[in-house]
Amino acid sequence: MSVWNYAVTAHKPTNVTHSCVGYFTGSQELNLIIAKCTRIEIHLLTPQGLQPLLDVPIYGRIATLELFRPRGEAQDLLFIATERYKFCVLQWDPEASEVITRAMGDVSDRIGRPTDNGQIGIIDPDCRLIGLHLYDGLFKVIPFDNKGQLKEAFNIRLEELQVLDIKFLYGCSRPTIVVLYQDNKDARHVKTYEVALKEKDFIEGPWSQNNLDNGADLLIPVPPPLCGVLIIGEETIVYCSASSFKAIPIKPSITRAYGRVDADGSRYLLGDYAGLLHLLVIIHEKDKVTGLKIELLGETSVSSTISYLDNAVVYVGSSYGDSQLIKLNLHPDSKGSYVEVLEKYVNLGPIVDFCVVDLERQGQGQVVTCSGAYKDGSLRIVRNGIGINEQASVELQGIKGMWSLRASSDDPFDTFLVVSFISETRILAMNLEDELEETEIDGFCSDVQTLVCHDAVHNQLVQVTSSSVRLVSSISRELRHEWHAPSGYSINVATANATQILLATGGGHLVYFEIGDGLLIETKHAQLEYDVSCLDLNPIGEDVNHSQLAVVGMWTDITVRIFSLPDLNLLTKENLGGEIIPRSVLLCSFEGVSYLLCALGDGHLLNFLLNMSTGELTDRKKVSLGTQPITLRTFSSKNTTHVFAASDRPTVIYSSNKKLLYSNVNLKEVSHMCPFNSAAFPDSLAIAREGELTIGTIDDIQKLHIRTIPLGEHARRICHQEHTRTFAICSLKYNQSNSEETEMHFIRLLDDQTFEFISTYPLDQYEYGCSIISCSFSDDPNVYYCIGTAYVMPEENEPTKGRILVFMVEDQKLQLVAEKETKGAVYSLNSFNGKLLTAINQKIQLFKWTTRDVGTTHELIPECGHHGHILALYVQTRGDFIVVGDLMKSISLLMYKNEEGAIEERARDYNANWMSAVEILDDDVYLGAENNFNLFTVRKNSEGATDEERSRLEVVGEYHLGEFVNRFRHGSLVMRLPDSDVGQIPTVIFGTVNGVIGVIASLPHDQYIFLEKLQLNLRKVIKGVGGLSHEQWRSFYNEKKTADAKSFLDGDLIESFLDLSRARMDEISKAMSVSVEELMKRVEELTRLH
Amino acid sequence: MGSMLGDLPSYDPHNFSLLRPSDPSNPSKMTPITYHPTHDRTLPPPNQVITSEARNILLRHIYQRAEDKLRPKRAASENLTPEHGSKHPKAMGNSDGPQF
């Protein structure tokens, strides 16, 4: 039963909604602060560019973000108001490096109609009050006292009911607002009011201006000495003050964002809906405004916010495309643009639709999203884990070990690849044609298995086999010295670096060598109680060729031991616990922190912090990487060292912000890996897997990889067809020719490898693509693309006409094979019992695919249907069951009766949820997302005693996600292994307007209970920034009700356990009576769901 | 036109001076640390937990008017020759404290 769900973010929001610039983290530190709906990001301006400092989750959707500085403060304070009527004032404490809360509160009113045009929050430039417009007809004031402390808030009645914008005017002796509003005849005006704090009322302001541009939508207050306000319309821009009025006409456009350039307010950047950036200049003689001037600077992403930073560099935040860092050049480039893009910041929002596909056919899901809007529309291919880009491969069975060797000590590249098998060792080398061919190193013993090889100082190579250690010249390739194991003893395990060798023979003998010029010096011998299972002396201290420490893993007592070198003194003995022996140990250093990694025979990995001088091991952590023994090796990528854990679930271990992270490698099983940095294949890895030796380069080391396919038009629906290896999308393109603006809708066919348009079918005028699937029908072997459309006529409230188009892909072309007119918009299509199930306006309609005439052509014939919806927007099916998400009537369950050829309603949820997506979790539980950013689950009650009970879908889960979900899809971003714990957990992926990709995982009940307890404890330890409550944030919330979250867990909070300090983890561990190690392991496993 | 973009503000001339434009096809990937406060100062001082005035606007208006009406009378009982109190009831407001 999929009732117990875990909601977690795989890709954080990237839609930039607000930005501001000020001195937040220090009086000398200029910051850019960005809001991405539920998170704020604090950046520092530096000579190198923007330096990200902190990503701050906010328990609310940010409605307002403003920096301000009350008198007497050395730094700016940050004011944040959330859509659920909470606000907070944040301050950075530079000493503690913490965000502290100066003030917070609730500004909701019990009654009041929420504003239609969004919430407004503004701060008086002289810091006398904060003004909020949250409900029609009310202006809320939070006054400051003369010490900068906030006082009780109160409402003032605002006569204007349709407010478009409110700003504070500069330079007024009493705080004064300017209100842009629309009257009941749709005319737009501005009006000013003074706020009388003592009387808690408005006083008529100094001026007003009637009958503005009908598209006036934005006010820009102008600072002293000019003061007054700019009113930005669609056809005019007006400057207005008590004494002056200036207007200029502009080319028709909708301004989305503005950024002030100069402190005196004489220049502004304006960004419009088409991504054009203009400079608006107020021409003035001293304090008198004499005119306005506007110039086109160039093109950016469609901006939602613009912040001038410093030295001609500007941040452009975008909701519809990638955000950008741009530079304004003094002179235009060859295309006449003054804009130079310096950096881009990926934004997946708005994700309107997506599909989950396995393009590489490796059992690894990839998400392909329809992202962005207008000209910034794109497809994004989002893939979890690290890919290997294969350069060459050969079939080789039974590889037992691999090492790369250089031809001389100072050669920057590797030449040889030593591959060891059970009874032989083969040496591959790059030949002159850059091909790998077999070669020989005379001094090496090639008819036995090699235990280890390494480059050594003085142009030497080391080979250790079960009987001897050989030191060979890398120049002459001849043997220079050999050490033989005493008779009766064979070498079991060995490790080496450039100057040292450590090996263990049967009977627990540990032998340590130092490497001289042509000489192996047996420096020390130690006798241990038990046999050695693995060892390592990777140098991570100051000397890159020589290690002060060695680590040894033991059979029998299951310990790892740290020895000092060269004396082989035991420094530390750590009991691993359990019965699984260590199979691979590695000393390594990430971001200057030393670790001991220890892999067990059952796929678990332990890591410890290692004290380099005392050998002490602390902060033990355990994670599960796979189910088979792991082999650990280091490798370098982009000048950083990472660790490759070869096993049935290959993983790269790396470090970010001094925290170890584990990223899946997108290969099924890897038995051995070694770095192979040859001249022909620089920075490559040699990988042994499934009877194959592969040489390949590795992706950037990060969790999610995003590839962008810019379309220049807005993709709204996407579908993949495995059979033809194509994608089909419904898209629209805006054409701007002269003043006439038109949009064209298309069905496009794309190659699933190159993502090029290979065929296009233009839709009719006014015809929108609404739905798309790939399917086949009963008694017809062909695979088709079916597209549902709607004719959206300007004069109609709802479409009354649409089409179903059936295409076949022939010779890479879309061939229309059937077409059916419908009496409304085809919102949804599903392949259903070999037929086509459609949702057309308020009706669910089933079509069968029948042969016409002599059997060459087909047509869609209506079979049966079901009425009773407002608009049936989202449909999912399972067997004969049909789950419908309605525009405003929540979820209903229908059933198709094959014999009777009828569709009947079985049950419905009687709540009035306005749906945005639905999905079937299992036979009985259905998941819904609605337009107040909530998720909920309902359950079919087939065992109900009465008809009434059976006809009601019971709400079993409720949760405030804080994101607008456009689509759910079954699938997984990670490679699922059937025998791993998380492999059993069913998951649904969702995509949202803010560019979030998230996962809903249905957990077993006992795991849910355990994690619920952990969440409860985490709430006590991890505080909400600004004093906002996590419990309130996650409570289901709409206009009608607020209810505590149930049957959903916040994976983002739970996984932040891994970011806590050890002391805080201990606190939680104590409260839960579960060891930190166990908690970490269980949470780490969850992170592997996404 | 060049003059329009001339003389752009510079707060610290070093800012962005070493920035090299990155390959536009390779978006910036720097990710900041996620902040999880565990300290107690996420809660503001008790007097800075702000609430809205409970009294509804209409009631506030009525009470305000009632007070305004009352005030001159009281003032009159103590001071028989009020100068212009009744003409500016609002301006007197709470600042006229000593009279109560």
Using the predicted structure, report yes or no on whether residue A1080 has a pLDDT greater than 50. yes
Average pLDDT over residues A476-504: 95
Is A56 in the B-facing interface, judged by CB distances under 8 Å?
yes
E-strand stretches of A488-537: 491-496, 500-505, 509-516, 519-527, 532-536
- Whole-number pLDDT of residue A434: 76
Contacts of B51 in chain A (CB under 8 A): 105-106, 152-153
CA distances from A1024 to A95, A1031, A1068, B43 (A): 20, 10, 17, 9
SS3 A259: strand
Give the CA radius of gyration of chain B: 30
Structure confidence by residue, pLDDT tens digits, A791-814 = 999 999 999 999 999 999 999 999
In Å, how far is A938's CA from the nearest CA of chain B? 33
* Mean pLDDT value across residues B8-29: 80
A133-185 pLDDT tens trace: 999 999 999 999 988 899 999 999 999 999 999 999 999 999 999 999 999 99
Q: What local confidence, expressed as pLDDT, does residue A154 receive?
A: 95
Residues in a beta bridge with A696: A390, A685
Classify residue A484 as exposed, middle or buried by CB count within 10 Å of its CB (0-12, 13-18, 19+): exposed
**A700 interface with B at CB cutoff 8 Å:** yes
How far apart are the CA of A737 and the nearest CA of chain B, in angstroms? 26
Q: Which residues of A touch B33 (CB under 8 A)?
A: 53-55, 657
Tokens of A312: 């001609």
Q: What are the residue ranges of helices labelled H in A935-1075?
A: 947-950, 1005-1021, 1030-1033, 1051-1055, 1062-1072
Binned at pLDDT 50, 70 and 90, residue B96 comes out as: very low
3-state secondary structure of A711: coil
Give B92's pLDDT tier (boundaries 50, 70, 90): very low
**Pick the residue with more confidence: A969 or A359?**
A969
pLDDT of residue A389: 86
Across the interface, whether the CB atoms of B50 and A104 are under 8 A apart is answered yes
Per-window interface: B 50-69 vs A, CB < 8 A = 50-53, 57, 60, 64
Comparing alpha-carbon positions, the chain B residue that sits nearest to A260 is B9
Contact A107, A129 (CB under 8 A): no
pLDDT tens by residue, A813-824? 999 999 999 999
Omega of the bond prior to A710 within 30 degrees of 0, cis?
no
Summarised one tens digit per residue, pLDDT across range A873-900 is 999 999 999 999 999 999 999 999 999 9
- In the numeric block, the tokens 């941040």 are attached to A315
Dmax over Cα atoms in chain B, in whole Å? 84
| Strands lying side by side in the sheet with A640-646 | A631-637, A640-646, A651-656, A659-664
Residues within 8 A of A (CB atoms), B 5-44 only: 5-6, 8-19, 21-22, 24, 27-44
Average pLDDT of span A415-437:
89
Q: How many angstroms separate the CA of residue B72 from the nearest CA in chain A?
A: 17
Q: Judge whether residue B95 has pLDDT over 80.
A: no
* Residue in A98, A328, A343 closest to B8 by CB: A328
* Average pLDDT rounded to a whole number, residues A541-561: 94
Lowest model confidence (mean pLDDT) among A684-693, A735-744, A774-783: A735-744
For chain A positions 125-154, those within 8 Å of chain B (CB to CB) are 138, 140, 142, 149-154
Size of interface A-B (CB pairs under 8 A): 211
CB A258 within 8 A of CB A218: yes
- When CB atoms are compared, the residue of B5, B51, B52 closest to A328 is B5
| Cα A683 from chain centroid (whole Å) | 27
Question: What's the mean pLDDT in A497-506?
Answer: 96
CA angle A473, A474, A475 (to 5 degrees): 90
Taking chain B, what is the end-to-end CA distance rounded to the nearest angstrom?
66
**Closest Cβ–Cβ partner in A196, A311, A1022 for B10:** A311
**Are A302 and A271 within 8 A, CB to CB?**
yes
Chain A residues in contact with B2 by the CB 8 A cut-off are 330-331
Q: What is the predicted pLDDT for the residue at A362?
A: 64
**pLDDT band per the 50, 70, 90 thresholds, residue A982:** low
If pLDDT is split at 50, 70 and 90, which confidence band does A33 have?
very high
Cα dihedral across residues A965, A968, A973, A978: positive or negative: positive
Tokens of A674: 């070694």
pLDDT > 70? residue A549: yes
Query: What pLDDT, on the 0 to 100 scale, is given for residue A668?
Result: 81
Residue A322: pLDDT band with limits 50, 70, 90 = very high
Q: How far apart are the first and last CA of chain A?
A: 21
Select from A25, A32, A48 the residue whose CB has the most chain B CBs within 10 Å, as the one to mutate to test that interface. A48
pLDDT at B3: 67
Residue A788 Cα to chain centre, angstroms = 31
DSSP per-residue string spanning A121-140: EEE-TTSSEEEEE-BTTEEE
Nearest CA in chain B to A656: B33
β-bridge pairing A704-710 and A692-698: unpaired
Left, alpha or beta for A229 (phi > 0: left; psi -120 to 50: alpha)?
beta
Is a pLDDT exceeding 70 seen at residue A276?
yes
B14, B33, B40: best to mutate for the A interface, most A CBs within 10 A? B33
Q: Judge: B50–A281 Cβ closer than 8 Å, yes or no.
A: no
Task: Give the one of B9, B37, B43 whose C-beta lies nearest to A263's C-beta.
Answer: B9
- Cβ contact, residue pair A54, B32, below 8 Å: yes
Q: If you search the block for the tokens 């319309």, which residue do you land on?
A: A233
CA distance, residue A477 to nearest chain B CA (Å) = 44
- 3-class DSSP state for residue A790? strand
Please compute the mean of the pLDDT values over residues A582-595 and round it to a whole number: 95
- The DSSP result for A831-900, as a single string, is EETTEEEEEETTEEEEEEEEEETTTTEEEEEEEEEE---S-EEEEEEETTEEEEEESSS-EEEEEEETTT
In angstroms, what separates the C-alpha of B20 from chain A's closest C-alpha?
7
CB contact (8 A) between residue A149 and residue B48: yes
* Alpha helix positions (H), A895-979: 947-950
Residues 337-356 of A with CB under 8 A from B: 338, 340-346
The reported pLDDT for the residue numbered B80 is 47
Mean pLDDT, chain A, whole residue set: 94
CB contact under 8 A, A279 and B4: yes
User: Which pLDDT belongs to residue A979?
Assistant: 57
* Residues A971 and A989 sit within 8 Å (Cβ to Cβ): yes
Name the residue in chain A with its Cα closest to that of B16: A47
Share of chain A above pLDDT 70, in %: 98
Contact A885, A917 (CB under 8 A): yes
Among candidate residues A286, A6, A179, A177, the one with its CA nearest the CA of residue A998: A6
* Residues from chain A contacting residue B39 (CB–CB below 8 Å): 96, 98, 100, 1023
Tokens matching residue A715: 């993709």
- Tell whether the model's pLDDT for residue B86 goes beyond 80: no
Nearest to A346 by CA among A35, A25, A707, A81: A707
Chain B positions touching A1024 (Cβ under 8 A) are 42
Asked if B57 and A155 come within 8 Å (Cβ–Cβ), the reply is yes
Rounded to the nearest integer, the mean pLDDT of chain B is: 72
Q: What is the pLDDT of residue B91?
A: 40
**pLDDT score, position A522:** 95
Average pLDDT over every residue of A703-712: 90
Distance CA A654, CA A657 (A): 10
pLDDT in the model for residue A597: 97
Q: Which residues does chain A have within 8 Å of residue B21's beta carbon, measured at their own beta carbons?
A: 327, 340-343
Q: What average pLDDT does range A206-232 have in this prediction?
A: 95
Per-residue pLDDT at A666: 81
Burial tier of A97 (Cβ tally within 10 Å: 0-12, 13-18, 19+): exposed
**How buried is residue B86: exposed, middle or buried, by Cβ count under 10 Å (0-12/13-18/19+)?**
middle
- Cβ A180 vs Cβ A133: under 8 Å: no
Confidence of residue A854 (pLDDT cuts 50, 70, 90): low
Determine whether the interchain pair A142/B16 forms a contact, defined as Cβ–Cβ distance below 8 Å: no
pLDDT of residue B19: 87
Residue-wise pLDDT for B38-85, tens only, equals: 999 999 999 999 999 888 888 888 888 888 777 655 444 444 444 444
The DSSP 8-state label assigned to residue B67 in this structure reads H
Examine the pLDDT at A119 and tell me if it is beyond 90: yes
Whether the full predicted model's pTM is greater than 0.90, yes or no, is no
Mapped onto helix, strand or coil, the DSSP state of residue A949 is: helix
* Predicted confidence band of residue A855 (pLDDT cuts 50, 70, 90): low
pLDDT grade, residue A981 (50/70/90)? low
Q: Which residues in chain B are contacts of A700 at CB distance < 8 A?
A: 29
Of chain A, the percentage scoring pLDDT greater than 90 comes to: 84
| Contact criterion met (CB < 8 Å) for B4 and A295 | yes
